[in-house]
Structure 1
């Protein structure tokens, strides 16, 4: 599958590096996202929806599906969802002053539907189709090469019903094509349907995130920056257990320059995940023994860093949320802060940059041309991100706090790759961040 936001570009080095055949496009990649949410089980789903809607311009949101899970085994309406979407509609005129691409409230209402109203695999099969499962099928069937990311904030049985329907009504090749476009981000495993999918359709990119706690902002932050901000702040409830446990599902695909979400080991706002699937990624305790019928099944899950892989970016995502809530309450562009644009070696997109370099060489990375729409000054930081890199030694970066940095490629790095992150922020209030990842493939 070709992803539009990855480019090979030439870099300035001590020896010659081949450039790509053509310059990268100046477009911004938007991931396609569908949420299934067990609204009413825990206030954290409502919280996560508010955060997602104030950054809705960054995604193509194709489904908001009310579904069930082990803590909410029956659903009957979209009333809770409709209330949050209505609040978004009130804030939308202000949001559109500050950024392009926010979807209309009419679009969000049209994709706000019920999924499976019963629990787990007991509500999957013949005659079990739902508006939610039909929506998933229609979305995946679109003539669009981008994958569809289904976030399972509760159980996974609505996407399981969609897969079941396609399996039983289409050819093997058609089923394979359908499955190749689905990526699933499952929060903690909240029914047995995820195990059924992983067992029977192992080629589906299936992440079960377990490191979803420990990164969250404080109650004081929420009081100051979120809950007192207009109609969307009013529908952001106090936490009952943990804040925004479902947010990593869409933060993983947030197109901010940090990661390609299909390369799940790269790491970004939603965490970092192992390329090695495991058989021991079990559901929440309330699912009990239901999954055992599908043992063994294999899934990808968090690396050993757990939620620390999210928390390392806390200034970026906390300030992003606070600034966007500011947008939601003012129609004056000058009264809020806006994101800077990070440019690396002339590439102003958010795509991952890949290039080849020789061991022992020097690589010059230039952020000249980076800018801020408000005219704020910029602070630069270039770092070697060791965890996703295959090279495990020390890497020297000269002038790491300037627009122009030089990477000294270790002499023993041949055959390895180095992940270098540019993180820059403005001096506005709150500081807003932009990122670029450069992957140096060493020969």
Structure 2
């Protein structure tokens, strides 16, 4: 019997509000099925059916209701497979969250004769009810958000409107109507993740890394598509009362799913840090000034399934594909009414006495020092054998494209006698490599911030992963490593003389 108190747990649930153009194609329904399997980790505050450029005059809340009815049939089974502090909400409570946005396209919703939609009213209510951030996940157009912002601007004081915006955390699947740019232009202080590209050129967007390599033909040979084939989905996902509500895909499966994979509390990502990377991708500010908070695609350097190296925005998502697909398949198994001992559950990762939760482990250490990372307290709640894999996430530290020129590759040495990776040492770079100003050459008391990821994988079926991110702030208290002379350009930094 599984001791549910030893299962992975989220001590703080993120508040989530979903806006979806469900029924314009099957992928929104697919994403909603998967989302509900993670509903125990979120505080869902709204499900709003909206329009988009692909469905301009109708909204379909009834299709959300159909999926939630299927979810209602499996809640009891799901709750046998989760920590007592993270129960799945009832189907009725989710059903009560469903409403609609304006049944018009884009900025038409901002016209004086268009009433404030029920979806916009609910959004304003959810923003007002708490000082905690609200993650607004936009799977279609964004005129529900635009309506709410316009109404707030016209009806509230400057400080009240500013406070409302400060609680917004938007992750939009590109722009699917003409309000996305309007929002970012008029309210640049809103935390807003969205890929930027030519209109409807979705193959350029990071989020298509979820499953789009066969349709958009990017990064060929890098991502492994086998766990998104229709055959795999039929065998592993489209089973049981909830899985049967997962439709066959038309273009690419689950294009909206990265919005909440970004929020899954598995120890990899940190939602307030899009630049850190997660199952939902990695994103950087488009403007380093304090006024703008728009985040868009970054790139990762990843070895693909064919053992070749890839550098792309899509790779920030597809690099995790086996992990998030296995997690999906495992949770579908939870819905089938099996004894929990017949199901698999994710490991729990602990490093250096860190909490057994998704929080990162923070260390401050001198340049050139050797740090020890001990994961021996990690465990699997099912008693499965565990594999420990460490890597340096150098892309996160780099401030520009040429990562190797800026970020020293640290040696990770296995100290465990069994070479299991449970205990490792890492030699940090010397100060001249990580704690001097690039142009002046002057030593800095605080140097680079390095990121190391521990992946803990079990040997259950399917194999599940949990992570622990170790964030190392380099210090240089004695101001060592001064370069002999200052330089004026990046070419000088790298010794390029132009001859």
- Match for 1:168 among 154, 169, 174? 154
Task: Show the counterpart of 1:54.
Answer: 37
Task: Show the counterpart of 1:215.
Answer: 210
1:379-436 superposed Cα distances (whole Å, 9 cap, x missing partner): 1011101110145121111118511111110112221111000101111100111001
- Match for 1:65 among 41, 48, 55? 48
Q: How far is 1:143 from its partner? A: 2.7
1:272-312 superposed Cα distances (whole Å, 9 cap, x missing partner): 0112349xxxxxxxxxxxxxxxxxx9842111331211111
Task: Show the counterpart of 1:179.
Answer: 165
Task: Show the counterpart of 2:297.
Answer: 302
Question: How many Å separate the matches in 1 of 2:10 and 2:322?
Answer: 26
Task: Show the counterpart of 1:404.
Answer: 423
- Match for 1:191 among 177, 182, 185? 177
1:188-246 superposed Cα distances (whole Å, 9 cap, x missing partner): 2100111111000000011113212243222232122101x111111111111111000
Question: How many Å separate the matches in 1 of 2:185 and 2:65?
Answer: 35
Question: How many Å separate the matches in 1 of 2:368 and 2:87?
Answer: 44
Task: Show the counterpart of 1:236.
Answer: 246
- Match for 1:327 among 314, 331, 334? 334
Question: How many Å separate the matches in 2 of 1:259 and 1:432?
Answer: 17
- Match for 1:226 among 237, 262, 277? 237
**Unpaired segments of 5 or more residues in structure 1?**
1-25, 279-296
* Pair 1:392-2:407 in alignment: yes
Alpha carbons 1:97, 1:331 under 8 Å: kept: no
* Pair 1:82-2:65 in alignment: yes
Task: Show the counterpart of 1:28.
Answer: 11
Cα pair distance change 1:364/1:38, threshold 3 Å: same
* Pair 1:95-2:92 in alignment: no
- Match for 1:261 among 264, 268, 271? 271
Size of the aligned set, in residue pairs, is 398
**Unpaired segments of 5 or more residues in structure 2?**
1-8, 196-204, 212-227, 300-311, 399-405, 436-446, 476-499
Alpha carbons 1:125, 1:161 under 8 Å: kept: no
Alpha carbons 1:215, 1:308 under 8 Å: kept: no
Question: How many Å separate the matches in 2 of 1:265 and 1:137?
Answer: 28
Question: How many Å separate the matches in 1 of 2:25 and 2:322?
Answer: 26
Alpha carbons 1:120, 1:191 under 8 Å: kept: yes
- Where relative contact order (Cα < 8 A, 6+ residues apart) is larger, the structure is 1
* Structure whose alpha-carbon radius of gyration is higher: 2
TM-score normalized with structure 1 length = 0.87
* Pair 1:138-2:148 in alignment: no
SS at structure 2 position matched to 1:199: helix
1:235-264 superposed Cα distances (whole Å, 9 cap, x missing partner): 111111111000011111111111111211
Cα pair distance change 1:86/1:30, threshold 3 Å: same
Question: How many Å separate the matches in 2 of 1:298 and 1:370?
Answer: 36
Q: How far is 1:101 from its partner? A: 1.9
SS at structure 2 position matched to 1:113: strand
Task: Show the counterpart of 1:360.
Answer: 368
* Pair 1:379-2:387 in alignment: yes
CA RMSD of aligned residues (A): 1.7
